[in-house]
Amino acid sequence: MADRIAISSFSLQYSPSAPRVLSSISLEIAGGTCCAILGPTGAGKTSLLHCLSGIMRRHHPEAVSSGHLQIGERFFDELPTQILFPTVGLTLQDPHVQISGVRDTVFGEVLFTLENTGMVPENPSGDPACCTGHNPCGSTTGLIA
């Protein structure tokens, strides 16, 4: 887990000719703390999180930024070009797309991420109630992610 996130004078435009969606943001979040970013619709909350997770460059290759990002021990003068898994975790807004479709139970979905990180236990076993939980609801899918 990244022990510190620091953003300094960070600005973002979706393209060089587009208006700034983030303008000179500076903040620092210490490791082990919980931070809420609040703002009206269109304020740039999701854009900021997409920048921090590395999604922004993948979805908007023409996006331009200025300022600096620090996530743990990694420093970025430009938007990260790769999704920063497993350093950064992110739950997207629509809970129903969080389910991979590769597994059909809650337990299988949790195991799915462990498999991807090479951390599969020898004999994976889970709570039987969890194992049989087909079609989890929105809040559960958020937790899985």
Partner 1 sequence: MSARQNLSPKLAFVVLLWVCAFTLPWTIQAFLCVLLIIGRFAIPALRPGSPRSARAFSRFILYSIAVATLVSILNAALIREGAIVANIFGISLHQGGLLFGARTASRLLLLSFSILLFFVSTPLPDFIQYLQEKGLPPYLALMLLLTLHFLDQLPIRIHQIFLAQQARGAPVDSGMLARTKALFSILSPLVLSSIVESIERGTALELRGFLHKPQPVKHGGSHMDWLTLLVLSLAIVILSYSIVQWLIG
- Positions touching partner 1 (CB under 8 A) are 53, 55, 58-59, 83, 85-86, 89-90, 92, 94, 97-98, 100-105, 107-108, 112-113, 115-118, 120, 131-132, 145
Cβ distance to partner 1 smaller for residue 47 or 67? 47
- From the CB of 144, what's the least distance to partner 1, in Å? 9
Bridge partners (DSSP) of residue 68 are 8
Give least dist CB 61 to partner 1, A.
14
Residue among 67 and 98 whose Cβ is closer to partner 1: 98
- Give the pairing type, strands 64-71 and 74-76: antiparallel
Smallest distance from partner 1 to CB 26, Å: 26
Beta bridge partners of 66: 11
Alpha-carbon dihedral 100, 104, 107, 113, rounded to 10 degrees: -20
We find the least distance from the C-beta atom of residue 99 to partner 1, in angstroms, to be 8
18 Cβ neighbours under 8 A, 6+ residues apart = none
Task: Give the dihedral sign, CA 130/131/136/139.
Answer: positive
Return the number of the residue (17 or 117) whose C-beta is nearest partner 1. Answer: 117
